[in-house]
Every structure is written in C-alpha cells, then in structure tokens.
Amino acid sequence: MSESVQIKNALISVYYKDNLEPIIHELNRLGVNIYSTGGTETFIRNLGVNVIPVEDLTSYPSILGGRVKTLHPKVFGGILARRNFEGDEQQLAQFEIPEIDLVIVDLYPFEETVKSNAEEDEIIEKIDIGGISLIRAAAKNFKDVVIVASKADYPVLEDLLKTQNGATTIDQRRSFAHKAFNISSNYDTAIFKYFNQEDPLPVFKESIQTSQVLRYGENPHQKGVFYGDLDAMFTKLNGKELSYNNLVDVDAAVALIDEFTEPTIAILKHTNACGIASRNNIKEAWVDALACDPVSAFGGVIIANDEIDAATATEIDKIFYEVLIAPAYTDEAVEILKGKKNRIILIRQVVALPTKLFKTLLNGVIEQDKDAVIEGPEQMTAVTKRQPTEHEKHDLFFANKVVKHTKSNTIVFAKNGQLMASGVGQTSRVDSLRQAVIKAEGFGFDLKGAVMASDAFFPFPDCVELAAEAGIVAVLQPGGSINDKLSVEMCDQKNISMVTTGVRHFKH
C-alpha cells in the first residue's frame, strides 16, 4: 500500500449539487475519468465535461424507478478492491472493473422529509440505499479510496485537488472516512428513531451533528462540550461565549418562563428561581422579580417572555448578571445593555424543544418524558372546610408553576403573582419551609395572605402548622400521603384552605 494514492477514476452521484462545479472542473483538469448517474450525470455534462454513465460500466440501466442504479459488482468491486492485493487485482482485470479512487456521494434528505410532515410513502422513498452503501464501501477501503459524503467537505477536496494534483495521503483519506461514518451512523439513527416511535424497542440512540467546545465543564479542570445548535435557538447580541454552567441555568430558565403567558421575568441561580413576577408590563415584572431576592440575583440568569424596552433595560443594567434572555429588545435597550461587554445578551428564537430528557448515570443512561403537565385551578380539588378564593387559586397556580421547576424538596410562597420566597433542595420538607420563612422575613415580605405550594405531599401536619403561623392562607400539594387527613385537619384548625392536584413534581 502506498502512502500516496493518485485519483484516476471518480464516481459522483449526489442529491445536492451546490458548489460541485469547481470539483468537476478540477477533476477534468487532472484527466480523471468521471462516472455518474441520473441528474448528476446531466449536471456534469452541462458543464461541458465528459462523463461516463454508470449504465455503460454495469451494462444495466437504472431500474425500479431509480431505486437500483449503482448496486452492482462493477461499481462496488472498483471501490472495495484492495490495491496491491494480488487476488483483488486479478479479479478486477478478469471482470474489466476500473479502480474507483474517489467517491462523491450524499444521501437523500430523510430527516428533512420527516420534519416536513410528508406522507409515509414519501418518507420511505427518502431512505437511501445505494448512497449509504457507497459511503460505507468507500470509507471501509479508505486505505485506497477517498470518500466525500457531504457538500460541507467540497472545499477541502477542492483544495487537495488544486494543491496536490489529485494525490491524497493516508491521513487525509482516513479523515474523510471518519466524517463519512459519522454521516452514515447519524442517518441510520434518524431512520431508526422514525420507526421506533410506536411500540418502541427499549434501546437508547441519539445522534447530534453539531457541537460547540466550551471553555470548561462545571469546573475549570473538567472538559465541556455542548451538542446541539445554539445558533438556531439564540441570537447573541453581546458578551462572551456561554459556559457549561450558563447553559444549565439557561435551560432551566427557558423551561420555567414557558409556563407563563402574561408579562413575566424570572431570575435564576443554580437552576432555581430566586425571583419571579408576573405583571401588566415587563418593567413592573422586573422590579418585583428583583425584589424577591436581590442578593441571590447577583450573577444570575435573567429571562423575560416579552420585549425588553429602554426603561426596563436601564433598571436591569443596574445589577451584575451573567445572561439576559428575551424574545426581543428595542434598539435603545440594546444600546444600554451593550455597555457591559462581558454580559451575555440573547434573543430567543422559536424552536421545537425535546420531549424526552436523558442523562448519563452509573454505567448507563436514564431517560424520561419531559414534565409537560401543570395543574391550574380546574385541577385543584379543595379538601378543607375553607375554600380558596379565586384570587388565591390564581396565586396557587403561579406558585405551582414555580415549584414545578425548583429542586426538591421545595416549598414556594407566592402572593399577587410574585414569588415571596422558596425553600430549595432541602433533605426534609419542613426544613425547606423554615428556610422559605426566614428568606421572606429577611427581605421584608409580609406572608399574611400569601399561598404555599409543595412539590410533593406532606408526610406530617407540621409544615401546614408552621405555614399557618407565618400567615399563609392557602396551600397546594399533590396529596397521596397516608397522613393527608392530619394535614387537612390542621388546615381546618388554622382556618386555611388546602387543594390537592394528584400530580407530584419532583425535580432531582
């Protein structure tokens, strides 16, 4: 095997012909014999370049409506033959098969067709057979063959043809093969996931083609990479690149804000809301969200579900934050916010978000459905003598949205569409409640008339008793404890209302 292989014969059959023309002219300049099929053959011929139809090589026409064009020993033999391997060389000569040194082929747009909501028959026809086989064959024989499986690699190939006059090194061919197998495995995964939607096989397959290397992971000594297309979701107006921890907080912020329709701003720290308020306008929402906990807001992630105007930007600009996200900004707001060069300003685009959540754990992966349920007033069942008022139900709904997106064990206090305080991630629910009371009092909030939401049931009545003493007038919990009756009795004794939802929102 020679380190350098000269391209003498090429097979080209592509769906996308963008930027292919310079490649064709370079191959023609180098005197390379070009074999092709169908539309690609016509494209090459229209460039004034000689091209050999694959049918002339195989002596078979394209059949079955184009389903079978290249699946033939004279094509695959020329690709898979091992150069300088005596038996292979003899058979190539015996059957008059030319060595194919370059394969340029891409795949039918299966994923794009699925996303277009096409009929199943159209989707099935976009499952490539010949293309995927050519890619695998050429990549397998990378010691002798160059495989270009994506138009993204056309510039690289063009440069090699120009600077190396049709010769390639083993490292270059291995690199092309590496990329080709990535393309083929991603394609197969997409097809499998399409077929695995109903009555799914219990297997885990994911393939994401875009990535971004992060400065580091949670800590500087850990490497970090984001797999996905951030540019599709956010337009960055200002600031440095998002870090691993930024991304974790941004993900939590997006999930939380999507629960709200009225003008709302949330401030998150370590994935938990330290401030959130819903108001008639976005400036009022910001002022009241910040008031929840101005200390924790320092260095946090801020997210809004409405346009940021100049007046709101002026107020936000008074504190230090890491990331600000909104669906839009006025021009004046952008100028104000850009005054701090390191602060990350993002416009959120509308993109579909995953419905499945997964993470590595032990020696495998765990996966679950996204928690897409949220219980409003219609799902609240009053279980106490005192019934919650309509206003209290509205606040309970607000609190339930927040509690759903807060680390367990959690207790949330809310009043008038504003977070009063929360107890987050404690090992006992009563500790979470005490933490919330201390925080509320520390920031001067009067809990009289406030409501309380819990992510899970109360195993004992002590939480209800403490909440009533703090001024809470209505409680929301999923119910389901063997001691529910004791908590209800305590509510009745303290003259506060309790509703159950039947849905738990643990967040670990």
**Catalytic annotation, residues:** 140, 270
Q: Which residues contact 85 (CB under 8 A, 6 or more apart)?
A: none
* Separation of alpha carbons 454 and 461, rounded Å: 13
With beta carbons less than 8 A apart as the criterion, state whether 447 and 420 touch: yes
Helix axes 154-164, 21-29, angle to 10 degrees: 20
* Separation of alpha carbons 168 and 32, rounded Å: 14
* Separation of alpha carbons 180 and 35, rounded Å: 20
What is the per-residue burial (b if ≥16 Cβ within 10 Å, else e) of 464-489?
A: bbbbbebbbbbbbbbbeeeebebbbe
- 379 vs 91, 237, 393, 417, 477, CA distance in Å? 75, 41, 11, 19, 11
Tokens of 59: 């002596």
Beta partners for 453?
412, 476
Helices (DSSP H) in 354-428: which residue ranges?
390-404
**DSSP of 47-63:** TT---EEHHHHHS---B
The DSSP call for residue 407 is: P
What SS3 state is found at 234?
Answer: strand
Helices (DSSP H) in 36-109: which residue ranges?
38-46, 54-58, 73-80, 86-94
With beta carbons less than 8 A apart as the criterion, state whether 491 and 466 touch: no
With beta carbons less than 8 A apart as the criterion, state whether 223 and 216 touch: yes
* Separation of alpha carbons 82 and 84, rounded Å: 6
* Separation of alpha carbons 433 and 359, rounded Å: 30
* Separation of alpha carbons 476 and 499, rounded Å: 5
| Among 282, 248, 244, 247, residue whose Cα is nearest residue 266 | 282
